[in-house]
């Protein structure tokens, strides 16, 4: 009876994922030899069952032979002879007899049904575990060979048999140089495979240990054709793997894990088959020198890296050449079209990306039916492209900012999903719709008609556009809030379907539906955080997304959702004034970022948003040098060439931070240049800053028109903070021009909104502005009372600039009070103390222009008090600052 350890561990099933998604295997003489070897071993196993140790040794031998890509017949015999004789002296002889049967005119037929036939009932007690199963590594290898043989014409079969006969009689060593095997990745500089023995309590009893292949990346370089490359290499090649040699010399595979699967490559002759890329004639190897296993692994790795870490992916030129070679060698590997699509996205080539995506779905419309055991129908129609093609095209259109086109495609995808009752496609479409609606609606940076504010039609259209932002249909979202029982029922129904497009694992479906539910929860949290509604719901939703877990084997999806929720949490903390906590959490996301088996680290939007939050935190605290140093690091990590989707975030951040720094330092020419970049990246922020800059430059009429235009556009916006900032800017401009009544009216409305939405930091900022108006009007007690109400929040949760403005407000409250109520000595002492604190805060805020405005007001106040000494000191300090920056501002507009 077989050892029970085999029933506990299926070595072949451990590697079925390698072949699971590729349809054909190129038929070469070397692969046919491996097939005959499997047939001999299966025949022997059916008569006399192998032990678990023998099964492990044989499986390791066959797997190493498959990964060697190509050997000559002499080398193959030298490798397997001693390994087979150790198990059974007659195995090697039976293999040679089987090979001799096909030396003549008889062609080798791939008899899939005989090898994959389950054991008979009478044999189950003696042989509980077959050598080859339908879903094992060897079984899928044989099934793919059978599919390829069925697709061959008569001429191709004759040519294949002639190559087989020539291969048997050829005594020369093989040429085994793989043009894509030496691509250096992040973890290794060699194309190696390792067998690692893991410690387990059954090791002493001889149980089969886990064998873990580390599938490495592939590399293809474009070289010009040379005459010498057509000549065969005269140098013999040593291509036999150390593991194979160890097996043939009687060594144990498991006892020497450090020396296994180390492959040495030497140059070889190139094939006459050519691929043209940009006028450069590429010389790829023969088909037998490239394994579909490694082509599949290459595609999977590059797909993952292009999405998670584009900087670590293969350069675009080499990737295009590699895709061309794979398409010419393996036309049934459809994922190569998705790889071309992601490369088109990386290169910002919308036409190439759309063409590749369309090619992928065109190929998927008709595909080989691998799921039917009989061969009555060789093809079947897959209806999924009718539903998922417009969905993915809509996502591609969204990436290139084609919103109307994306919405039209989504309508088509939803109609197809509802017609076919495909709830998965419908949920994906709803999530994509939410992603499209969450994009900021582009607004013109300057009003088209400043002289016609009464155009109600244009105003209503702008309001409709703004109200459509972040709009998600509740009826559509209800389909994603399915209970676990409904998910289980749907998964069971899907598994029970006999349709060819419904072979989906129920566990994967449950995990995918949970992921879509978390995506909708995250989008809902973002919408509520922007509209400042239901903070408790936002907190609960973000916590649930942070704790998401989709099970073993889905760590990448789990990490993406969890880290995205953490990045949103950092942004919410920063918006509410907790800059230190936000910077700490963002630093963990940015610097403690571990990757996976395909890339060292993740460079997604989550990481760049975390980095941008760190920059904003430094800028809020007036640490511009630290902010710019972090910004330079981000620019090197997220480049426009390879990761432009993430680079948009730091470009927007750079324009905002550099403008603020240049404006407060008086470098207004540089600030104007950054404003031009900001208009396309953040139009609302550009409008607010342009209005303030124009007002300070003296263009008061233009500044007021622009501020009024911005306030009207944002009057119905869901972004509460943007609406409050627009109204505050307009109010302070009105107050600076003397229209105190209108300014107070707008500020009172903003205070009510801030109190209603529980925006404590905005409430404090608004109270400070109201206090500054009271101070300018000479109402000292009212101003100081409002200062006391907002002082603690401003000191703990607002920027350094707001702290400086608070101290200026305190100074102006003392300076503007009526002379009849003044006690000269006490009053001057209060003024001196307030002036010293205000100047200190201005320096901490890195705002020399603000200190100049303060010194100017102080000199006027001391002149009224006839304190010439203090007046002259203020004038001297003002002169010193004026030599450094000549521009001046009116502090009330801030």
The per-residue pLDDT for 714 is 92
Confidence of residue 382 (pLDDT cuts 50, 70, 90): low
- pLDDT attached to residue 210: 31
Tell me whether residue 710 is in a domain: no
Count the neighbouring beta carbons within 10 Å of the beta carbon of residue 43.
Answer: 15
Does position 267 have pLDDT exceeding 70, yes or no?
Answer: no
Q: Say if residue 496's pLDDT is above 90.
A: no
Tokens of 175: 């040429």
65 pLDDT above the threshold of 80: yes
Residue 483 in any domain: the answer is no
Q: What pLDDT shows up at residue 485?
A: 44
Percent of the chain with pLDDT over 90: 41
Once rounded to an integer, what is the mean pLDDT over residues 470-491?
44
- Report the pLDDT value the prediction gives residue 57, as an integer from 0 to 100: 87
State the average pLDDT over residues 554-571: 94
216 pLDDT tier (thresholds 50, 70, 90): very low
Residue range 715-738: mean pLDDT, rounded: 94
What is the rounded end-to-end Cα distance, in angstroms, of the chain? 87
> What's the confidence (pLDDT) of residue 128?
55
- Provide the pLDDT for residue 332: 77
Q: What's the average model confidence in pLDDT over 167-183?
A: 60
The whole-number pLDDT of residue 257 equals 35
> CA separation (Å) from 2 to 118, 137, 574, 633, 826?
16, 21, 64, 60, 101
pLDDT band at residue 229 under the 50/70/90 scheme: very low
Residue 796 maps to a domain: yes
- 492 falls within a domain: no
pLDDT at 731 over 80: yes
Task: Answer with the residue of higher pLDDT: 16 or 708.
Answer: 708
- What is the average per-residue pLDDT within 525-551? 92
Instruction: Flag whether pLDDT at 259 surpasses 60.
Output: no
Strand partners, 281: 276
Q: How many CA atoms lie within 13 A of 240 on its CB side?
A: 18
Give yes or no for a contact between 691 and 707, defined as CB atoms under 8 angstroms apart: yes
Left (φ > 0), alpha (ψ -120 to 50) or beta: where does 532 sit?
Answer: left
Average pLDDT over every residue of 138-166: 85
Q: Which is more confidently placed, 289 or 602? A: 602
- Residue 711 falls within a domain, yes or no? no
Helical H segments across 757-823, by residue range: 760-776, 780-797, 800-815
Q: Residue 254 pLDDT more than 60?
A: no
- What is the tens place of the pLDDT at every residue in 330-341? 877 888 999 999
Tell me the three state secondary structure of residue 207: coil
The pLDDT of residue 759 is 95
> For the residues 678-698, what does the mean pLDDT come to?
94
**How many Cα neighbours within 13 Å face the side chain of 338?**
18
Section 628-644 average pLDDT: 94
Measure the CA–CA gap between 66 and 299, rounded to whole angstroms. Answer: 19
Identify the domain boundary among 246, 271, 296: 271
Q: What is the pLDDT, as a whole number, of residue 872?
A: 93
More confident residue, 769 or 67: 769
DSSP character string of 658-726: HHHHHHHTT-HHHHHHHHHHHHHH-HHHHHHHHHHHHHHHT-HHHHHHHHHHHHHHTTT-S-HHHHHHH
User: Comparing 218-232, 260-274, 284-298, which segment has the lowest mean pLDDT?
Assistant: 260-274
166-170, 201-205, 708-712 — which one is most confidently predicted on average? Answer: 708-712
Judged against a pLDDT cut of 80, whether residue 190 lies above it is answered with no
* Ranges 179-183, 207-211, 403-407, 499-503: which has the least confidence: 207-211
Of the candidate ranges 148-157, 382-391, 635-644, the one whose mean pLDDT is the lowest: 382-391
Residue 137 has a pLDDT of 80
Res 365: pLDDT: 67
The long-range contacts involving 627-634, CB below 8 angstroms and separated by at least 24 positions, are 627/657, 628/657, 628/658, 631/657, 634/608
CA–CA dist 204, 348 (Å, integer): 57
pLDDT category, 118, cuts 50, 70, 90? Answer: low
Q: Is residue 123 part of a domain?
A: yes
From the CB of residue 309, how many other CB atoms can be counted at a distance below 10 Å?
24
| Residue 556, SS3 per DSSP | helix
Q: 723 lies in a domain?
A: no
Please give the DSSP secondary-structure letter assigned to residue 421.
Answer: T
Residue 624 has pLDDT above 90, yes or no: yes
Q: How confident is the model at residue 505 (pLDDT cuts 50, 70, 90)?
A: low
Least confident of 273-282, 341-350, 441-450, 792-801: 273-282
**Under the phi-then-psi rule, with left for phi > 0, alpha for psi from -120 to 50, and beta for the rest, what region is 488?**
alpha
Confidence of residue 221 (pLDDT cuts 50, 70, 90): very low
Q: Is the pLDDT of residue 502 over 90?
A: no
Q: What is the pLDDT of residues 837-848, one digit of tens each?
A: 999 999 999 999
Output the pLDDT for position 442: 53
Residue 282, classed as helix, strand or coil, is strand
Q: Which residues constitute the domain of residue 115?
A: 4-226+236-271
Which tens digits make up the pLDDT trace of 434-461?
888 777 555 554 554 444 444 434 443 4
pLDDT at 493 over 60: no
What would the mean pLDDT of 146-166 be, rounded to a whole number? 86
The yes-or-no verdict on residue 798 having pLDDT over 90 is yes
State the virtual CA torsion across 7, 8, 10, 14 in degrees, nearest 10.
160
Q: What is the pLDDT of residue 767?
A: 96
Is the pTM higher than 0.75? Answer: no
Q: Is the pLDDT score of 242 beyond 50?
A: no
**Residue-wise pLDDT tens digits, 1-15:** 344 333 333 444 444
Tell me the per-residue pLDDT of 354-363, one tens digit each, with 9 for 90 and over: 999 998 888 7
Split at pLDDT 50, 70, 90, the class of 367 is: low
Non-local (6+) Cβ contacts of 62 within 8 A are 34, 37, 38, 41, 138
Task: Rank 23-32, 260-269, 572-581 by mean pLDDT and report only the highest.
Answer: 572-581
Across the range 860-881, mean pLDDT stands at: 91
Main-chain phi, psi angles of 347, to 5 degrees: -85, 5
Number of domains in the chain: 2
Between 277 and 167, residue with greater pLDDT? 167
Give the lowest-confidence range in 106-110, 279-283, 602-606, 712-716: 279-283
Q: Does 147 have pLDDT greater than 60?
A: yes
Q: Note whether residue 162 is domain-resident.
A: yes
- pLDDT higher than 70, residue 706: yes
Tokens of 297: 């692994």
Residue 177 dihedral angles phi and psi, to the nearest 5°:
-120, 115
């Amino acid at each position: 009876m077989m050892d029970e350890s085999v029933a506990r561990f299926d070595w072949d099933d451990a590697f079925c994922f390698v072949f699971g998604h590729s349809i054909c295997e190129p038929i070469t003489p070397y692969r046919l030899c491996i097939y005959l070897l499997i047939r001999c071993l299966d025949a022997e196993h059916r008569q006399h069952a192998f032990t678990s140790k023998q099964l492990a040794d044989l499986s390791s031998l066959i797997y190493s032979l498959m990964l060697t890509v190509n050997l000559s017949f002499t080398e193959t015999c030298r490798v397997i002879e001693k390994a087979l004789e150790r198990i059974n002296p007659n195995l090697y002889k039976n293999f040679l007899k089987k090979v001799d049967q096909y030396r003549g005119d008889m062609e080798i037929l791939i008899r899939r049904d005989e090898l994959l036939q389950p054991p008979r009932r009478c044999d189950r007690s003696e042989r509980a575990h077959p050598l080859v199963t339908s879903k094992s590594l060897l079984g899928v290898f044989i099934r793919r060979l059978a599919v390829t043989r069925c697709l061959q014409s008569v001429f191709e079969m004759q040519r294949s048999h002639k190559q087989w006969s020539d291969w048997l009689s050829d005594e020369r060593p093989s040429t085994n140089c793989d043009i894509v095997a030496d691509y250096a990745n992040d973890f290794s500089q060699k194309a190696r495979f390792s067998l690692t023995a893991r410690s387990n309590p059954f090791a002493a009893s001889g149980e089969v240990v886990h064998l873990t292949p580390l599938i490495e990346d592939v590399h293809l370089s474009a070289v010009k054709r040379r005459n010498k490359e057509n000549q065969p290499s005269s140098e013999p090649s040593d291509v036999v793997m150390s593991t194979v040699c160890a097996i043939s010399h009687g060594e144990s595979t498991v006892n020497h894990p450090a020396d296994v699967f180390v492959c040495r490559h030497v140059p070889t002759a190139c094939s006459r088959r050519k691929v043209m890329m940009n006028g450069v004639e590429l010389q790829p190897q023969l088909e037998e020198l490239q394994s579909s296993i490694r082509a599949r692994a290459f595609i999977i790795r590059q797909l993952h890296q292009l999405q998670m870490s584009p900087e670590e992916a293969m350069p675009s030129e080499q990737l295009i050449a590699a895709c061309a070679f794979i398409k010419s060698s393996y036309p049934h590997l459809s994922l190569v079209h998705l790889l071309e699509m992601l490369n088109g996205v990386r290169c910002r080539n919308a036409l190439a990306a759309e063409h590749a995506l369309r090619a992928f779905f065109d190929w998927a419309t008709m595909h080989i039916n691998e799921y039917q055991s009989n061969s009555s129908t060789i093809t079947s129609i897959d209806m999924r492209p009718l539903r998922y093609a417009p969905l993915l095209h809509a996502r591609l259109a969204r990436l290139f900012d084609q919103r109307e086109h994306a919405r039209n495609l989504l309508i088509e995808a939803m109609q197809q999903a509802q017609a076919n009752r495909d709830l998965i496609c419908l949920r994906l479409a709803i999530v994509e719709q939410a992603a499209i609606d969450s994009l900021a609606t582009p607004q013109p940076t300057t009003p088209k008609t400043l002289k016609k504010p009464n155009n109600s039609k244009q105003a209503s259209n702008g309001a409709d556009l703004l109200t459509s932002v972040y709009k998600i249909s509740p009826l559509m979202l209800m389909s994603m809030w399915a209970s676990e029982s409904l998910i289980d029922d749907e998964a069971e129904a899907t598994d029970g379907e006999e349709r060819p497009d419904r072979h989906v694992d129920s566990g994967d479906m449950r995990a995918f539906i949970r992921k879509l539910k978390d995506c909708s929860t995250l989008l809902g949290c973002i919408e509520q955080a922007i509209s400042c509604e239901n903070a408790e719901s936002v907190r609960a939703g973000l916590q649930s997304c942070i704790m998401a877990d989709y099970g073993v084997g889905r760590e990448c999806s789990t990490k993406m959702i969890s880290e995205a929720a953490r990045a949103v949490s950092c942004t919410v903390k920063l918006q509410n004034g907790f800059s230190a906590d936000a910077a700490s959490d963002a630093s963990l996301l940015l610097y403690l970022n571990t990757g996976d088996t395909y890339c060292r680290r993740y460079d997604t939007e989550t990481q760049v948003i975390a980095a941008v939050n760190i920059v904003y935190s430094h800028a809020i605290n007036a640490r511009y040098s630290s902010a710019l140093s972090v910004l330079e690091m981000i620019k090197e990590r997220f480049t426009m060439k390879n990761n432009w989707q993430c680079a948009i975030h730091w470009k927007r951040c750079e324009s905002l931070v550099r403008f603020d720094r240049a404006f407060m330092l008086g470098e207004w020419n540089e600030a104007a240049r950054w404003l031009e970049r900001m208009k396309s990246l953040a139009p609302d922020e550009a409008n607010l800053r342009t209005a303030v800059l124009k007002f300070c430059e003296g263009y008061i009429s233009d500044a007021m028109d622009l501020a009024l235009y911005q306030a009207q556009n944002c009057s119905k916006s869901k972004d509460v903070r943007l609406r409050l900032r627009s109204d505050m800017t307009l109010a302070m401009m009105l107050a600076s021009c003397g229209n105190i009544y209108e300014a107070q009216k707008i500020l009172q409305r903003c205070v009510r909104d801030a109190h209603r939405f529980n925006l404590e930091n905005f409430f404090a900022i608004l109270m400070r502005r109201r206090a500054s108006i009271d101070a300018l009007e000479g109402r000292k007690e009212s101003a100081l009372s409002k200062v006391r109400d907002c002082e603690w929040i401003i000191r703990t949760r607002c920027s350094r600039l707001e702290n400086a403005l608070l101290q200026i407000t305190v100074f102006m409250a003392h300076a503007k009070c009526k002379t009849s109520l003044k006690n000269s000595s006490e009053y001057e002492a209060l003024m001196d103390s307030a002036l010293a604190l205000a100047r200190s805060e201005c320096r901490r805020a890195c705002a020399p222009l603000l200190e100049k405005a303060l010194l100017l007001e102080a000199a006027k106040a001391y002149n009224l008090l006839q304190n010439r000494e203090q007046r002259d000191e203020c004038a001297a300090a003002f002169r010193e600052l004026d030599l450094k920056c000549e521009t001046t501002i009116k502090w009330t507009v801030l």
